[in-house]
Amino acid sequence: MSADPRDLVDLSGLRQGSEAADSVPAAARPYLQVFFRCANHYQRVYRSADGTAYNARCPRCAKPVRFKVGEGGSDSRRFEINCGL
Ligand SMILES: [Zn+2]
């Protein structure tokens, strides 16, 4: 094969494709709004680093709450937690 410069053009085309995938900023992580009744407080809960769950903790009684991420699960973004008062 020759060193046709057009081969380089093809490579840059591939780079443009990956640029589109990188256009979603890392800061745009999904989150839930969780209302803790016992604290009367809304908390924004970001998805865990591995993307499998949302881990929240009541700001008053420190009760841990875990929302699992799953296909076909609830698409609700707001939850209300009753810590059991
Ligand atoms: Zn609580």
pLDDT of residue 19: 47
In a domain, 31, yes or no: yes
Tokens describing residue 11: 């490579």
State how many domains the chain has. Answer: 1
Please provide the average confidence, as pLDDT, over all residues in the chain: 78
CA atoms of 1 and 69, how far apart (whole Å):
50
Residue 49 Cα to ligand 1 middle (Å)? 24
Q: Against a cut of 0.95, is the pTM above it?
A: no
In a domain, 1, yes or no: no
Residue 14 Cα to ligand 1 middle (Å)? 51
In a domain, 33, yes or no: yes
pLDDT digits (tens, 9 = 90+) for 5-26: 665 555 555 554 444 445 555 5
In a domain, 16, yes or no: yes
Q: Which residues surround ligand 1, an ion (CB under 5 A)?
A: 38, 58, 60-61, 63, 83
SS3 of residue 83 by DSSP = coil
Write the DSSP string, 3-17. Answer: --THHHHHHHHHHHH
Going by pLDDT thresholds of 50, 70 and 90, the confidence category of residue 27 is low
pLDDT digits (tens, 9 = 90+) for 29-78: 889 999 999 999 999 999 999 989 999 999 999 999 999 887 766 778 89
- Domain span at 34: 6-81
Q: Return the CA Rg of the chain.
A: 22
